[in-house]
Amino acid sequence: MDTIYHSGEIKVQTQAGAVEAATSMGRQVFPVIAHHFVDFIQSQPFVVLGSADDRGLAWGSILCGRPGFMKVVDEHTLWIDALPGDQDPLRGNLKDGSEVGLLVLDFFTRRRLRMNGRVVIGESGFSVRIRQVYSNCPRYIQSRTCESIEDTPVAPQTAREAVSLNEELRERIGRADTFFVASYHPEVGADVSHRGGFPGFVQVLDEGTIVWPDYNGNGMFNTMGNITENPNCGMLFLDFERGGTLQLSGTADIIWEKDRLALFPGAERIIEFRIKRVIEVENATDLRWSFVEYSPDNPWFC
């Protein structure tokens, strides 16, 4: 039987008892950019991307611009009139034919749209030949308003490059209520997805190890399926108040053991992430977000 899912996704769907849910969600995956997505895409000031470098490490990144910097050229093509800074691994990962995953997200309305496809480089930006497009539910997204400070720009500055976390970064991650995870399947391509919860849902075990819970979702298990086939993945944390980014790349395992799940009420799985590279950039974007409220779906365990 034909399926949009690869073997890793099917394996996790089966273990989680979510085959029926995944089959239902699969019917909502479009091979083109449907008309009802166009206005949403073109009205947003940022997009989160997942990509892989030449060594196979996966990275999460963010690109920003005035609404309209993303333009739907036709049903198969998205143009992004922006390029990453030299500090971002995405700069080297964007090549003709390279695979990217994209997430367009409006924090305030909690609407999100995932896409993936293949890159074609242009002069001021790049286009993506879209292969899959689908909406995700609003669960676990903290509501925030967004504004730009582009009239008083500050140049991006790499604050740290390292292979482990210092105490400041460990504390920052421990306070996070949101991050993005990038994953990559060597044959299928890149993906990036949102993760959210109350502060403390991401736990730093030591300078090189992070764990986070995986809650009930849409049943597709794109991220979990990719990790099952290829453990390389990346984490992206945004400094919502100051516009900085924290990018981590490493490897991950999916933990199903009940004794460890008990430490995260509401979790159906735990992901244990081991860091290989750390990149912190100050003023990575001129966007600033103000907190409105937590998602009503966040499990209460902190």
Q: Please check the confidence at residue 192 and state whether its pLDDT lies above 70.
A: yes
Contacts of 220 (CB under 8 A, 6+ apart): 5, 9, 13, 22, 25, 26
Instruction: For residue 234, list its beta bridge partners.
Output: 182, 249
The CA-to-CA distance between both ends of the chain, in Å, stands at: 43
Band of pLDDT at residue 288, cut at 50, 70 and 90:
very high
- Number of neighbouring beta carbons within 10 Å of residue 194: 19
Stretch among 152-156, 167-171, 287-291 having the lowest mean pLDDT: 152-156
Q: Please check the confidence at residue 74 and state whether its pLDDT lies above 80.
A: yes
Give residue 60's identity as a one-letter amino acid code.
Answer: G
Give residue 268's identity as a one-letter amino acid code.
Answer: E
For residue 299, the 8-state DSSP code is: -
Better-scored residue on pLDDT, 160 or 173: 173
Q: SS3 of 173, please?
A: helix
For each of the domains in the chain, give its residue range(s) and CATH number, in order of start. 7-293 (2.30.110.10)
CA distance 302 to 297: 14
